[in-house]
Amino acid sequence: MSRHLALASLALTLAACSTLLGIDHDYVEGAPDAPVTSDATPPDDATAERVADSPESPDAGDATTAGDTGDTGTDAACAGHVCQGICLAGPSCVGCAAGNLFCAATRACVSSCTACQAPSTECWSCTGAQPSGSCESTATAYCLGAGYTHCTCSGDAGVASCPGASQTCKAGQCASCGEPGTDGSKCKSTLDCAATSKMCH
């Protein structure tokens, strides 16, 4: 009898201890482990759909370099002149193998104004160390007036020293066909200047 009382007293003592310590007997004996939680909040359905529908990042090989317009020789944005397909600074075509005449319509260097905008007049000036030529609109060509620096020549025979095929040699100056006093003069091309048409025929 005393043994049973001792066991009962021990059981009560253990139960009291468990209560004081806050130990849940059912949790200790059979409760499953608590699930591991994550600080990250799982995406809702709308977020998942947006992610799924978003396009893939473009491949680096698809990137377009800013200002890349392909062949610069045909780029209308060239502010200088185009010599053999390359855009260079300034309007002077002096030394370009494609031709020493600057065509303002296309900004290309040409060997003859027939390859430029028509009707055009071949103009040359000698303001620098070398003659600078351009194909100008016949209606507004600067070289059909007198207010520019002419290249020099010597007599009619000296026309061969003029830089332009449609130039004549008058009073020691290379004058474009169409300038005052050039009608009927021999052009460098060996044709005769017709001042009315401003062309050598």
Is 126 contained in some domain? yes
Amino acid at position 151, single letter: C
**CA distance linking residue 133 with residue 151, whole number of Å:** 11
What is the pLDDT confidence band of residue 76, given thresholds at 50, 70 and 90? low
- Supply the DSSP symbol for 154: -
What percent of the chain stands above pLDDT 70? 61
Is 108 contained in some domain? yes
Whether the CB-CB separation of 150 and 173 falls below 8 Å is answered with yes
> pLDDT per residue over 159-200, tens digit each?
999 999 999 999 999 999 999 999 999 999 999 999 999 999
Q: Which residue has the higher pLDDT, 133 or 104?
A: 133
pLDDT at position 34 is: 44
Evaluate if pTM is beyond 0.85.
no
Q: What is the separation of C-alpha 176 from the centre of its chain, rounded to a whole number of angstroms?
A: 37
Is 61 contained in some domain? no
Is 140 contained in some domain? yes
For tokens 């050598």, the residue is 200
Q: Which residue has the higher pLDDT, 129 or 2?
A: 129
Tokens of 31: 């409760």
What is the pLDDT confidence band of residue 119, given thresholds at 50, 70 and 90? confident
What average pLDDT does this structure show over 59-68?
Answer: 31
- Please tell me the total count of domains within the chain: 1
Whether the CB-CB separation of 140 and 163 falls below 8 Å is answered with no
Q: Nearest 5°: CA angle at 145, between 142 and 148?
A: 65
pLDDT at position 127 is: 87
Q: Is residue 3's pLDDT more than 80?
A: no
Is 29 contained in some domain? no
Q: What is the extent of the structural domain holding 139?
A: 76-200
> pLDDT per residue over 20-53, tens digit each?
344 444 433 444 444 444 444 444 554 444 434 4
Is 19 contained in some domain? no
Buried/exposed code over 80-107 (b: 16+ C-beta within 10 A; e: otherwise): ebbbeeebbeeebbbebebbbbbbeebb
**CA distance linking residue 118 with residue 164, whole number of Å:** 17
Q: Is 6 in a helix, a strand, or coil?
A: helix
Is 67 contained in some domain? no
Whether the CB-CB separation of 177 and 166 falls below 8 Å is answered with yes
Is 69 contained in some domain? no
